[in-house]
Amino acid sequence: MALALVAAERPTALPCFGGATLPLWTLSDQAWPPVVRLKLGQRLDASLRNDLPREGEHTSVHWHGIRLPNGQDGVPYLTQRPVWPGETYAYSFVPPDTGTFFFHPHCDTVEQLGRGMAGVLIVEGDEGEPYDADVPIILRDWRIDDTGGGFLPFFTPEGAGKAGTFGTVRSANGETNPEIFLPASGDCRLRLLNLDNTRVMEIGIEDAEAAIVAVDGIALPPEPLKSWRLGPAMRIDVVVRAPADGETVRLVDYFAADPVPLARLTGKGEAQRTAAFDPAPLRAGRIPEPDIDNAERMVLAFSATATDQAVAEAAAQGLILGSLCSAVGSFWAINKQAWPAGDHSRIPPPLATLQRGRSYVFELQNLTPHQHPIHIHGHSFKFLRSNRHALPVHHADTVLLQPKERIEVALVADNPGDWMLHCHIIEHQESGMMGFVRVT
């Protein structure tokens, strides 16, 4: 399948902007956000043209969660040359997994993603029995200034040094609390994607039966949805029994004193199903099974490097974005190593060198009082256990580390190359909490 992406400024009036038009940066003329669907086994040939209006603003496309060859991974300096304004770059790969993925730039992500540069990538072929609907729901905030016509700064030292800088307007598919119609009493697949720079959400559906059937694209046996914490970049596929014709249930974020409504799900038309809710599972994923008994163990400790005072000083000096990709100062580190300030062109040594084909168990340790969604490129973690939360065994390319939490994940290092490993709260990533592992 051929896909032509053109990064450009496109003034857009999404419904959640309340009548205002904002200078979005997007990747296509299609309605925001673009949703690309492929069948398993199909090759994606994507071209990226950089028509961004700012001099020196290079870009790239990272295919988040796709276990592709390293040269296609879209990380400027580490896996490809940056794509400068006026240039074009070609990607070509066959995604090896079915599921719900997305794509976004990987330098100055705080602004480029903040202004809208992202798309959904769906690889079909995992449904043994078809569901009655398939609806991607993109959840994110926008940082809109008081005039309503522009953006607030995407990076603030106060935010970057703490939980991140939050948006001012929440949205689902570009609307505030939209009404989404589903076939009445149908078993409907909702692909929920947190594409926010910052916000961790706790997803639930009130007054409806629902089950999680995939995490980060990879199937798990249907797991009743009570609530699921979804950090930036994380996805869940949920099957919900839609309400009867004319009735509505609420998709909500419980990560607040009062649940925040995200979308209204309204049943429409004839009842599709009458049998008790027992959602069909997806076909099992294809992630190689790690050999836990013979795995090598490693610790990855996520820590703060900057004190509260340093953050305050940085703010006072009006820090902080240096040249593209990375802040002038660093607030965060992995195993005491912060990504060098400046930009990605100064590549630090790898956090670890992994032997191709070997299994590894990483103990991810959060030494900070903040949450960090930790993402690895080119591989999928098998979530083994946490010292704080009982979650079902599942796969994920991004796992959410709570304050003081330790999580064990395993993988087979089967994909050669240099693979980013970083926090997906973008300000944390761009102020030091980023590194890479080398598989040789």
CA proximity to 82, closest of 7, 4, 153, 171: 7
- Of the pair 64, 395, the CB lying nearest ligand C2O is at 64
Q: Is 140 in the site for ligand C2O (CB under 6 A)?
A: no
Find the shortest distance in angstroms from Cβ 106 to ligand C2O: 6
The two tokens of residue 296 are 């090598």
Question: What residues have CB less than 8 Å from 63, skipping those under 6 apart?
Answer: 72, 73, 74, 91, 93, 95, 101, 103, 121
Q: Is 14 in the site for Cu ion (CB under 5 A)?
A: no
**Greatest extent of the chain over all pairs of C-alpha atoms, in Å:** 63
Q: Is 377 in the site for ligand C2O (CB under 6 A)?
A: yes
Which partner in Cu ion, ligand C2O, none is near 422 (CB below 5 to 8 A by kind)? ligand C2O
Radius of gyration of the CA atoms of the chain, in A = 21
Backbone dihedral region of 24: left (phi > 0), alpha (psi from -120 to 50 degrees) or beta? beta
Find the shortest distance in angstroms from Cβ 434 to ligand C2O: 8
Find the shortest distance in angstroms from Cβ 431 to Cu ion: 9
Question: What mask of x and - would describe binding to ligand C2O in positions 30 to 69, judged by CB under 6 A?
Answer: --------------------------------x-x-----
- Of the pair 76, 329, the CB lying nearest ligand C2O is at 76
- Of the pair 187, 196, the CB lying nearest ligand C2O is at 196
b vs e for 27-47, b when ≥16 Cβ sit within 10 Å of the residue's Cβ? bbeeebbbebebebeeebebe
Which partner in Cu ion, ligand C2O, none is near 428 (CB below 5 to 8 A by kind)? Cu ion
Question: What mask of x and - would describe binding to Cu ion in positions 317 to 356, judged by CB under 5 A?
Answer: ----------------------------------------
Helices (H), 236-306: none
Q: Is 428 in the site for ligand C2O (CB under 6 A)?
A: no
Q: C-alpha 2: how far from its chain's center?
A: 23
Among 58, 372, 379, 394, binds Cu ion (CB under 5 A): 372
Residue pair 320/314 in contact by the 8 Å Cβ criterion = yes
> Exposed (0-12), middle (13-18) or buried (19+): which is 372, by Cβ within 10 Å?
buried
The two tokens of residue 38 are 């492929």
Find the shortest distance in angstroms from Cβ 427 to Cu ion: 8
Q: Which stretch binds Cu ion (CB under 5 A): 89-97, 225-233, 352-360, 425-433?
A: 425-433
Q: Is 420 in the site for ligand C2O (CB under 6 A)?
A: yes
Number of residues that bind Cu ion (CB under 5 A): 4
Q: Is 220 in the site for ligand C2O (CB under 6 A)?
A: no
Q: Is 233 in the site for ligand C2O (CB under 6 A)?
A: yes
Question: What residues have CB less than 8 Å from 390, skipping those under 6 apart?
Answer: none
Going by the DSSP 8-state scheme, the letter that residue 309 receives in this structure is H
Q: Is 375 in the site for ligand C2O (CB under 6 A)?
A: yes
Among 242, 425, 434, 437, binds Cu ion (CB under 5 A): 425
Q: Is 191 in the site for ligand C2O (CB under 6 A)?
A: no
The length of the chain is 440
Q: According to CB under 6 A, which residues from 77 to 116 bind ligand C2O?
A: 104, 106
Among 423, 434, 437, 439, binds Cu ion (CB under 5 A): 423
Going by the DSSP 8-state scheme, the letter that residue 71 receives in this structure is G
- Of the pair 106, 191, the CB lying nearest Cu ion is at 106
Q: Which stretch binds Cu ion (CB under 5 A): 8-16, 246-254, 256-264, 419-427?
A: 419-427
- Of the pair 211, 324, the CB lying nearest ligand C2O is at 324
111 phi, psi to nearest 5 deg: -85, -45
Find the shortest distance in angstroms from Cβ 58 to Cu ion: 24
Question: What residues have CB less than 8 Å from 356, skipping those under 6 apart?
Answer: 413, 414, 416, 439, 440
Among 372, 379, 382, 422, binds ligand C2O (CB under 6 A): 422
Q: CA angle, corner 105, sides to 189 and 86, nearest 5?
A: 130
CA 330/CA 315 separation, integer angstroms? 13
What is the contact surface with Cu ion in residues (CB under 5 A)? 372, 423, 425, 428
What is the contact surface with ligand C2O in residues (CB under 6 A)? 62, 64, 104, 106, 233, 375, 377, 420, 422, 424
